Amino acid sequence: MLYEFPKDFIWGCATASYQIEGAFNEDGKGPSIWDVFTHTPGNIIDGSNGDVACDHYHRYAEDVKLMETLNLKAYRFSISWPRIFPEGKGSVNKKGLDFYKRLVDALNSASIIPFATIYHWDLPQALEEKGGWADLDTSKYFADYSYVLFKELGDSIPFWITLNEPAVFTYLGYGIGVHAPGKKDSGLATKATYSALLAHGLAVEAYRSLGVKGQIGITLNLTPMHSASNKEEDILSARRMDLMWNRWFLDPIFKGSFPQEFIELLAKNGISFEVDSEHMKKISLKIDFLGVNYYTRNIVMYDPKVPLINARSIEPTTNKTEMGWEIYPEGLYELLTSIKRDYGNIPLYITENGSAFKDELIDEKVDDPEREDYLKRHFYQAYRAIKDGIDLKGYFVWSLMDNFEWAYGYTKRFGIVYVDYPTQKRIIKRSGYYYRKVIEYNGVEL
């Protein structure tokens, strides 16, 4: 049976600048924290970097054609801050801006709706040297950078996403150190969450001040946190994980305050957290939609060895993707339902969902039934949520094509299009042809 989606449902694919563009030092682009991080031995599992990646900077026209072949209605990409401002601030690098103008023109000519993410982790290195996200000034520079984008591209890009996954780039970048800039300090990470949220708010303010026609929101990675058992300590651990990863970002944006319970936990661990009420007003400015990135749930148990939250996720042994993430489609329904319950009926987009599997190119074909199955089951859960009255308006598969998967380098393939890196040839995978049919039927068959 065909489970049909609403008539104007937006089906798309997502990517991010550092993961696909390459051209890391061309046309006046400045270095980003990811250039520096990947050029430092030991940080990336296969020693690789994004210097060339999918060479999308030079192949964008071919890639837009690929999107047309796939029938995509929308494309979510990100803009590289150091292409626009090589030093993070100061004067605009026109050549960098021109690249995005060309890309957006190509999308609009192909009737593919552009969704632009203003920040998907490639902070200008010059700003990192002044303290990066741990410094409040970065929020102001981000707002200035956003303002330029709105002025230059606001008329041709109808959907804007301020930040991609602030929890990931702050906690992994400043707390655990497995992402750029590789710092390991919970105090810094906490500061970074605050500046990032403020940056988001200031960008929303800048957008409204210009009165451009379009919508603005933010993308959060949200993960249902399930307790490993009924033991009180596991239940509490799951709650802390939820506070740290989900509510720490949702609450300030939609309720105008950070969760007190977590502020107290920080204080107990010697991390002070000051909130300025003027900042809170900006952080909680009304947005037009929330972008949700969903990949898996976490099953959480008590672990006193983990600082601050005394909690860790249990790694699944079966039913998992190449990332080691459990395949749990029901979690998407649960998540969308809980957002409505706790924060209201906000217009939602799934801005990322997808999976990595071991893909092999055999006779110019890639047969990836696991990814097809993963997508199908998640689409169905999205369908259920819509039927229940959740205002879900679109769905972006991560990713359009295989790309540089951060600390995992090129060892994980998430694309519905295979990239043969030595030749840069793009080959649509079985899952890509499947997705094309889903879009054509505007529904999923089970």
DSSP strand pairing (225-227 vs 289-293)? unpaired
Q: Is 406 in the site for ligand FCB (CB under 6 A)?
A: yes
DSSP strand pairing (215-221 vs 159-164)? parallel
Q: Is 368 in the site for ligand FCB (CB under 6 A)?
A: no
Q: Is 34 in the site for ligand FCB (CB under 6 A)?
A: no
Q: Treating both helix axes as pointing N-terminal to C-terminal, what angle do 369-387 and 330-343 enclose, rounded to 10 degrees?
A: 30
Question: What would the DSSP string read from start to end of 308-336?
Answer: TT-EEEPPPSSSB-TTS-B--THHHHHHH
Both structure tokens of 403: 């790309």
- Cβ 162 to ligand FCB shortest distance, Å: 14
Catalytic-labelled residue, pool 21, 128, 165, 326: 165
Q: Is 164 in the site for ligand FCB (CB under 6 A)?
A: yes
Of 248, 405, 439, 444, the one binding ligand FCB (CB under 6 A) is 405
Distance CA 346, CA 288 (A): 8
Interface pattern 315-354 for ligand FCB (x via CB under 6 A): -------------------------------------x--
Q: Is 168 in the site for ligand FCB (CB under 6 A)?
A: yes
DSSP secondary structure letter of residue 253:
H
Whether the Cβ atoms of residue 421 and residue 19 lie closer than 8 Å to each other: no
Both structure tokens of 159: 């959907």
Q: Which is nearer to ligand FCB, 395 or 414 (CB)?
A: 414
Catalytic-labelled residue, pool 21, 128, 326, 352: 352
Of 21, 55, 165, 359, the one binding ligand FCB (CB under 6 A) is 165
Residue 443's alpha-carbon distances to 5, 11, 254, 334, in angstroms, are 5, 10, 31, 20
Active site annotation includes 360: no
Q: Which is nearer to ligand FCB, 234 or 326 (CB)?
A: 326
Q: Is 294 in the site for ligand FCB (CB under 6 A)?
A: no
Q: Is 241 in the site for ligand FCB (CB under 6 A)?
A: no
Q: Which one of the spans 82-90, 162-170, 360-368, 388-396 is the region binding ligand FCB (CB under 6 A)?
A: 162-170
Q: Is 221 in the site for ligand FCB (CB under 6 A)?
A: yes
Active site annotation includes 165: yes
**Neighbouring C-alpha atoms within 13 Å toward the C-beta of 165:** 20
Q: Is 5 in the site for ligand FCB (CB under 6 A)?
A: no
Residue 190's alpha-carbon distances to 102, 119, 135, 305, in angstroms, are 38, 19, 11, 20
Q: Which residues are catalytic?
A: 165, 352
